[in-house]
Structure 1
């Protein structure tokens, strides 16, 4: 087993158990304890865990997978501002793939006056909220993650792959200039990857708290993002970076 695969499995176990032990991992992977310690050191350098005597504990910030209800109450005013800023990017007749994030839901609430929009989504809340709207709404189906009301898994990605759309609307849990765009869990990250592939352009909606933040799993590189809409001006370093990546930043 390659080191990168071993470290991925270590993070999977950490996400589930919140702690791991060097001796147990050594036996599990049939490697020396020193090899395990080096793996933990590399993961700690990436701010994914904190080493402790005999093992490591999960860095809560990287694994935080808040419920949809709790996320709705966080940065509410910022999300409303992002939605207002992003409105102009959506035109009558557009076809959209939309993730299950609270920020994307806020944007769709601002688009009720748009005509002939087609919405393809993995969010059961979005489907429910717009059941009587003028939108044409297509649900991805799939396995429900109850914390986020998101449909995931092979059934969901299989449906998404049948469509090609104008825009993908997504959010994320963290952005880092070297690590890319990150999510707190792999099932929803895979959904967002599929949406990006099926769209002509991708719009990332993200509030200021997500900048310079590491999350559990990488969704994509910045090269796949066309627009980023946020609630306040990013730092000069970020603005230079977006300029280099040819990303249009709106704030």
Structure 2
């Protein structure tokens, strides 16, 4: 087996399991442990994994990009594709929750151009401002404690109001998703607790996330993957990731 082929298989195993061990790889490929360590070193140099004692784990990034304003101009093409897919999940007469998420800003823009009667509930200021001009949408804005960086309201007051509401569907953002830990992350605990309230108040909850979010982490785990019925991405997940999320009985749209 060529070196490149072996290293490709190592990455496939890592994506599937989240962790690989030098000893197991040595036996699997019938090469020395020193040879495997060299493979891992080469892959780490290309930022494809992170070496740990006895093996390697997936390389995950925490961007600490806290301000919504900083995220609005990133991955715009991908967000538009995700928003278009999400729009198809909304039916006339639905009551939907749009979370603090720059993908949801794109979804709100699409709703403006669609003549569909819908009840929109949101805690994000940008979404409120956009949909104030929607002739067919009934808008409810969730107040609370201003999260200036997130451009919306979170905290106890917001949570208390969400507790009293019911959504046909909630469209949620995430700063990171770890399929091996069954974890969906945001940055702040207060934001995470508000997000979880929205998920719990919805008949159907969807994660709207670019594929790269599957290699990113946040600071607060606000939900498990099996709290959602689907994750909406701009393109299909890798074969390994798609296989893994099926274990949580959720779809990739």
TM class by shorter chain equals 0.7 to 0.9
Match of 2:121 in 1: 120
Question: Partners of 1:148 and 1:214 in 2: how far apart?
Answer: 17
Equivalent of 2:199 in 184, 188, 196: 196
Question: Partners of 1:191 and 1:89 in 2: how far apart?
Answer: 23
Question: SS at 1:203's partner residue?
Answer: strand
Question: Partners of 1:200 and 1:157 in 2: how far apart?
Answer: 17
8 Å contact from structure 1 (residues 196, 202) kept in 2: yes
* 1:240 partnered with 2:243: yes
8 Å contact from structure 1 (residues 78, 231) kept in 2: yes
Shift of 1:109: 1.5
Shift of 1:110: 1.3
Match of 1:172 in 2: 174
Question: Partners of 1:95 and 1:108 in 2: how far apart?
Answer: 14
Shift of 1:111: 2.0
The 3 A distance-change label for structure 1 pair 73 and 63 is closer
Question: Partners of 1:124 and 1:108 in 2: how far apart?
Answer: 12
Unaligned runs of 5+ in 2: 1-59
Shift of 1:65: 3.5
Question: SS at 1:239's partner residue?
Answer: helix
The 3 A distance-change label for structure 1 pair 242 and 61 is closer
Question: Partners of 1:186 and 1:214 in 2: how far apart?
Answer: 14
8 Å contact from structure 2 (residues 207, 231) kept in 1: yes
Question: Partners of 2:163 and 2:218 in 1: how far apart?
Answer: 26
Match of 1:94 in 2: 94
Shift of 1:240: 0.7
Per-residue CA distance 1:130-157 (angstroms, 9 max, x = gap)? 1121211111110111111110110011
Which protein is bigger by CA-based radius of gyration?
2
Question: Partners of 2:132 and 2:96 in 1: how far apart?
Answer: 16
Question: Partners of 1:170 and 1:153 in 2: how far apart?
Answer: 17
Question: Partners of 2:86 and 2:133 in 1: how far apart?
Answer: 23
Task: Report runs of 4+ in structure 1 exceeding 4 Å deviation.
Answer: none
Question: SS at 2:111's partner residue?
Answer: coil
Per-residue CA distance 1:180-199 (angstroms, 9 max, x = gap)? 10111111111110000000
Unaligned runs of 5+ in 1: 1-59
Shift of 1:115: 2.1
8 Å contact from structure 1 (residues 82, 205) kept in 2: yes
Question: Partners of 2:164 and 2:200 in 1: how far apart?
Answer: 11
Question: Partners of 2:212 and 2:63 in 1: how far apart?
Answer: 16
Question: Partners of 1:72 and 1:188 in 2: how far apart?
Answer: 18
Match of 1:78 in 2: 78
- Count of matched residue pairs: 191
- The TM-score with structure 1 as length reference comes to 0.73
Root mean square deviation of aligned Cα: 1.5
| Equivalent runs, 1:1-251 vs 2, <5 Å | 61-62=61-62, 64-112=64-112, 113-133=114-134, 134-179=136-181, 180-250=183-253
